[in-house]
Amino acid sequence: MSDLLKRTTVLKVKKFLKKNLPDIELIQLEETARSAQDAAKSLKKEVGAIVKSLLFKNVETNEYYLCLVSGDQYLSLEKLSKIIGNNITKANADECKEITGFSIGGVSPVAHTHSPSRIFIDEKLNRFDMVYAAAGHPYVVFGITFDNLQTITKGEINSIVE
C-alpha cells in the first residue's frame, strides 16, 4: 500500500493539482474509498461531502459528460438528459477507463486522458466547506473547496440529482 502515491494514475492527478492548486495534498487512506460510504467512513466525514465522479454518454452523439455528485445523492438521468437535449446512459467500466484514464472507484474530477465534453457539478455539494474526491485510485483522495472544484474542473453548477 505504501507505493500508492507513486502509481501512474495518482501521479497524474498530483501533477495536475500541483500546477493548478499547489496547496492541495493527496490523502492516502487505510481503507478503500471505492464508494462514497467507504470514503466517508475512512475520512470520518459525512457521506454528502464525498464527490462521486460519474461518467455518462450521449446516446446520439457519443459525447461523454462527467457529473460530480454529492455522495448522499443520486443523479437524475431525466434532469441531465434535459440539460443535454438528448438521451444519456451511464458509461460502462471500459468506456470510463478509456475516456478518463481512471477505473471506477478511483475516477478523479481532473486530469482525464480525454476531456469530457462537459462537466456538471451538483449544486448540493456546496453545502460543505470541504469536499473529497478520488485521486486516481480507490485508496487516494484529496480535499478541495466547492469553489476550487468548480474552478479547476470548469464545471457547470446545476441541479442534476433526483
pTM of the model: 0.95
CATH class belonging to 4-158: alpha beta
Give the separation between CA 135 and CA 159, rounded to whole angstroms.
24
Give the separation between CA 64 and CA 114, rounded to whole angstroms.
10
Please report, in angstroms and rounded to a whole number, the separation of the first and last CA atoms in the chain.
37
Q: What are the E-state strand segments in 35-153? A: 51-58, 64-70, 88-90, 118-122, 131-137, 140-144
Burial of 141 (0-12, 13-18, 19+ CB in 10 A): buried
Q: Which three cell numbers stand for residue 91?
A: 458509461
Q: Which three cell numbers stand for residue 129?
A: 466547506
Residues 30-80: tens digit of each pLDDT:
887 778 999 999 999 999 999 999 999 998 999 999 999 999 999 999 999
Residues in contact with 14: Cβ distance below 8 Å, sequence separation at least 6, in sequence order: 5, 26, 135
Residues 80-134: tens digit of each pLDDT:
999 999 999 999 999 999 999 999 999 999 999 999 999 999 999 999 999 999 9
Domain ranges across the chain:
4-158
